[in-house]
């Protein structure tokens, strides 16, 4: 029977990992991921899982051990956050280039410096071209469900690409909320057995991973990673549909959630936990007769260019909220993707971009409302007040851009 529990996001994801019961789990503690691995280790100590937990001395080693185990044919997971993900950098590319279907929950946290342990998206955004699938989660329930689905997506024979499942640091990882944990047997059946087609330990079919690869085949091998990445959207949809049919959940099972977008003229685009406040703002605007909507992106990699562009192109205005800065780029990463997605469309809306919430800076409905008000003003005048704005920045600080 499904069970309603009061859980933090970290605990909810640990329950997903308990139900997955991976063969190996190599991890190193880092705030705000630590409590997730602690809960998972509890499950192991209680005899609920038989995962081989490998304690390592750094995240570089955690991902290296995970890659080694996955190459040997084990269902292998790890989890990290922030600087831990940064330390894995080199091995992230190795995991994706070996086409190892590793699933890794990442608790989004600011990168140093200055030192900060709170939530923003700078960590995973830095890895957006590392060849991993990125699924963002709005709440603890979605983080739990995304983790279960990510296994099926990553391991699909057409995909064989590692996947990150993200949840916002502290806001989701450490906040307690009502979470439904689905029936163990049903969840295990959904996740299924892992039968890798290629493993290093299969002596009858010897293979090489990580060989020297110069101009003879390196380019072709790198391009072939796109095969798996670009096969993943259909699998994300199929797995999502099956998940919803199996468990009857209420989360987002597609590339994005389109909230009140059917007749919308103005929209706000968000990732993660900010969707809650954005929905409130949309409802408030609707109450005042403004045709507002929200797009919550779930699948950031691969980015659903065509589907997003189709939804945004007919609007009058769209504001894109980014919880990270692409220094030297055009504002934030989500903005860059959407502006690029719209190229070639005859009708394009006014676009504005706001950076917010770095290092856990609070984001309140009134901040999103101010962005939506400025957007409507920009549509009226034909010129945005600022190309790139900053929500809830100290008033006496005037940015150069």
Partner 1 sequence: MTDTGKKMLEIRWHGRGGQGAVTASKVLAESAMSLGKQIQAFPEYGSERQGAPVKAFTRIADQRIRQHNQVTQPDVVIVLDESLLDAVDVTEGLNDNGTLIINTQSSPAEIRQKMALQGRSLYVVDATGISLRNLGKSIPNTPMIGALVGATKLLDPKLVAEDFAKKFAKKFKQEVIEGNVQSILDAAQEVKGE
Contact 180, 4 (CB under 8 A): yes
Is residue 320 part of the contact set for partner 1 (CB under 8 A)? no
Closest to 133 in 3D by CA, of 240, 26, 265: 240
Candidates 92-100, 203-211, 234-242, 269-277 — which segment interacts with partner 1 by CB under 8 A?
Answer: 269-277
Dihedral sign, CA of 173, 353, 111, 210?
positive
Is residue 139 part of the contact set for partner 1 (CB under 8 A)? yes
Phi, psi of 154 (to 5 degrees): -65, -40
- What minimum distance in Å lies between the beta carbon of 277 and partner 1? 5
Q: Is 381 exposed, middle or buried (0-12, 13-18, 19+ CB in 10 A)?
A: exposed
Single residue of 118, 122, 149, 319 touching partner 1 by CB under 8 A:
118
Give the nearer residue to partner 1 in terms of CB position, either 68 or 119. 119
Is residue 176 part of the contact set for partner 1 (CB under 8 A)? yes
Is residue 275 part of the contact set for partner 1 (CB under 8 A)? yes
Candidates 99-107, 189-197, 268-276, 320-328 — which segment interacts with partner 1 by CB under 8 A?
Answer: 268-276
The continuous run of DSSP H or E covering 19 comes out as: helix 9-20
Contact 174, 35 (CB under 8 A): yes
Spell out the residues 6+ positions from residue 149 whose beta carbon is closer than 8 angstroms to its own.
135, 236, 239, 240, 243, 253
Phi, psi of 55 (to 5 degrees): -90, 125
Give the nearer residue to partner 1 in terms of CB position, either 181 or 275. 275
Candidates 54-62, 106-114, 215-223, 358-366 — which segment interacts with partner 1 by CB under 8 A?
Answer: 358-366
Is residue 177 part of the contact set for partner 1 (CB under 8 A)? yes
CA distance 84 to 66: 14
Is residue 6 part of the contact set for partner 1 (CB under 8 A)? yes
Is residue 157 part of the contact set for partner 1 (CB under 8 A)? no
Helix, strand or coil for residue 297? strand
Spell out the residues 6+ positions from residue 54 whose beta carbon is closer than 8 angstroms to its own.
24, 25, 26, 27, 65, 69
- What minimum distance in Å lies between the beta carbon of 342 and partner 1? 28
Is residue 359 part of the contact set for partner 1 (CB under 8 A)? no
Region 192-251 residues binding partner 1, contact defined as CB under 8 A? 250
Name residue, tokens 């994801």: 13
Single residue of 274, 319, 352, 376 touching partner 1 by CB under 8 A:
274
Give the nearer residue to partner 1 in terms of CB position, either 25 or 179. 179
| Residue 135 token pair | 């699924």
Give the nearer residue to partner 1 in terms of CB position, either 90 or 366. 366
133: β partners: 163
Is residue 107 part of the contact set for partner 1 (CB under 8 A)? no
Candidates 100-108, 167-175, 199-207, 236-244 — which segment interacts with partner 1 by CB under 8 A?
Answer: 167-175
Single residue of 314, 329, 362, 399 touching partner 1 by CB under 8 A:
362
Site size with partner 1, rule: CB under 8 A: 28
Q: How many CB atoms lie within 10 A of CB 258?
A: 18
- What minimum distance in Å lies between the beta carbon of 279 and partner 1? 6
Candidates 15-23, 125-133, 175-183, 347-355 — which segment interacts with partner 1 by CB under 8 A?
Answer: 175-183
- What minimum distance in Å lies between the beta carbon of 138 and partner 1? 8
Contact 151, 98 (CB under 8 A): no
Looking at the chain, the number of H-run helices and the number of E-run strands are 13, 15
Interacting residues with partner 1 (CB under 8 A): 4, 6, 117-118, 138-139, 168, 170-172, 174-178, 250, 273-277, 279-280, 360, 362-365
């Amino acid at each position: 029977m499904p069970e309603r529990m009061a859980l933090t996001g970290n605990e909810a994801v640990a329950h997903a990992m308990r139900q997955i019961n991976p063969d190996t789990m190599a991890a190193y503690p880092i705030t705000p991921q630590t409590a997730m691995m602690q809960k998972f280790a509890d499950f192991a100590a209680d005899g609920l899982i038989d995962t081989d937990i490998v304690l390592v001395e750094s995240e570089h080693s955690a991902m290296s051990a995970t890659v080694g185990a996955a190459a040997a044919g084990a269902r292998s997971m790890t989890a990290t956050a922030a600087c831990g993900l940064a330390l894995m950098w080199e091995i992230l590319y190795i995991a994706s280039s070996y086409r190892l279907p590793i699933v890794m929950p990442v608790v989004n946290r600011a990168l140093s410096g200055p030192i900060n342990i709170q939530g923003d998206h700078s960590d995973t955004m830095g890895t957006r071209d590392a060849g991993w699938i990125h699924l963002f989660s709005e709440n603890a329930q979605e983080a739990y469900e995304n983790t279960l689905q990510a296994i099926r997506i990553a391991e699909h024979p057409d995909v064989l690409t590692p996947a990150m499942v993200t949840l916002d640091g502290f806001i989701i990882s450490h906040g307690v909320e009502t979470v439904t944990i689905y029936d163990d047997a049903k969840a295990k059946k959904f996740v299924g057995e892992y039968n890798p087609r290629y493993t290093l330990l299969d002596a009858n079919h010897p293979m090489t991973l990580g060989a020297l690869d110069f101009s003879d085949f390196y380019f072709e091998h790198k391009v072939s990673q796109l095969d798996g990445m670009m096969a993943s959207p259909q699998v994300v949809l199929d797995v999502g549909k099956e998940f919803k049919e199996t468990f009857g959940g209420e989360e987002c099972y597609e590339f994005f959630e389109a909230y009140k977008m059917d007749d919308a003229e103005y929209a706000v685009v968000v990732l993660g936990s900010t969707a809650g406040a954005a929905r409130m703002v949309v409802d408030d605007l609707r109450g005042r007769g403004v045709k507002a909507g929200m797009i919550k992106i779930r699948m950031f990699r691969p980015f659903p260019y065509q589907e997003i562009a189709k939804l945004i192109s007919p609007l009058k205005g769209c504001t894109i909220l980014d919880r990270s800065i692409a220094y030297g780029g055009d504002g934030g990463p989500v903005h860059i993707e959407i502006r690029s997605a719209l190229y070639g469309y005859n009708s394009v809306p006014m676009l504005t971009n706001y950076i917010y919430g770095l290092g856990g800076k609070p984001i309140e409905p009134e901040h999103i409302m101010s962005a939506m008000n400025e957007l409507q003003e920009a549509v009226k005048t034909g010129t945005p007040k600022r190309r790139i704005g900053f929500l809830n920045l100290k008033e006496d600080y005037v940015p150069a851009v």
